[in-house]
Amino acid sequence: LGVVCALLGRDDVVILDKLVHACLVDAARLSGAKLRVFAHNDLDDLEDKLKWAGGNTGQRRVLVVTESVFSMDGDAAPLRQMVEMKEKHGAWLMVDEAHATGILGKDGRGLAEELGVSGQIEIQMGTLGKALGASGGFVCGSRALVDFLVNRARTFIFSTAPVPAAAAGAAAGVRVAQSPQGRRLRQTLRERSAQCRTGLAPLSGALGNAAGGNDGSGVRAILPLILGDEAKALDAAAKLRERNIFVPAIRYPTVARGAARLRVTLTAAHSAEDVSQLIAALKTLDLGL
């Protein structure tokens, strides 16, 4: 909220991927900027929106906003192409790395690091509350951007600073992510991800875009099994809980109507046996896939 509202106003344009997190949608609306949405990961549609923004000569700034790894689908944004496109049209790019921080990149800095485009993205943001195991969030950018936000982002100015214990926990999480231990954990997650995707290959249609790896890493910590019907998803989640397996059912309004799903989330703490148990349990359920 703070970043978008501090940077944009009524004379600006913000262009969102259709599947970005609700907080980014709310930020775009609250900023007062002209809002446009492009179809999920559709570069042609994004370019159309950028051309439209360029034709409105009164606009001061154009900001493109995407997630790097999408929270409910587990697929990745085509960041390399988006960087090229925003530079071609003189726009800024803001990337939410919430589901890639700690997971992707040599030092766990996210998809932008994985693809080697970190220095070409104006704003990277994310959470400290997932892979890093703490609470709060972060924004990365140029020194000028950070100084501007410290002085102009209302949600930062009028919020209480993190308590020392929370800040120390976040710092410890960052150190682990960048350490040999962090690299070993990421390798373990790669192995669990590959095992799960291979085991669920018969259900690959239900996995949607997360079945493959369009970021080049092959890592998928989020694997959705798209069932469509909400009752079916809730029933499947309940049956898995009876077997001591927690896989939440995700339904409207978190996802579109008719796109209810089971959301499998893998971690490096899961053993190969855990993943095998999940695969076996899913294959015994009548999912209609």
> Catalytic residue numbers?
71, 99, 130
Cα–Cα distance measured from residue 133 to residue 283, given in angstroms and rounded to the nearest whole number: 32
According to DSSP, the β-strands at 260-265 and 249-250 are antiparallel
Q: Are 8 and 31 in contact (CB under 8 A)?
A: yes
Residues 214, 158: Cα–Cα separation, whole Å: 39
Give the length of the chain: 289
CB 109 within 8 A of CB 79: no
Q: What are phi and psi of 34, to 5 degrees?
A: -70, 125
Neighbours of 247 (CB within 10 A): 21
Distance CA 125, CA 224 (A): 24
* Buried b or exposed e, range 133-148, using 16+ CB within 10 angstroms: ebeeeebbbeeebeee
Pairing label, strands 92-96, 123-127? parallel
Return the sign of the alpha-carbon dihedral for residues 80, 82, 86, 91: negative
DSSP assignment letter at 160: P
Residues 282, 289: Cα–Cα separation, whole Å: 11
Q: Are 35 and 5 in contact (CB under 8 A)?
A: no
Q: Distance between CA atoms of 163 and 13, rounded to whole angstroms?
A: 36
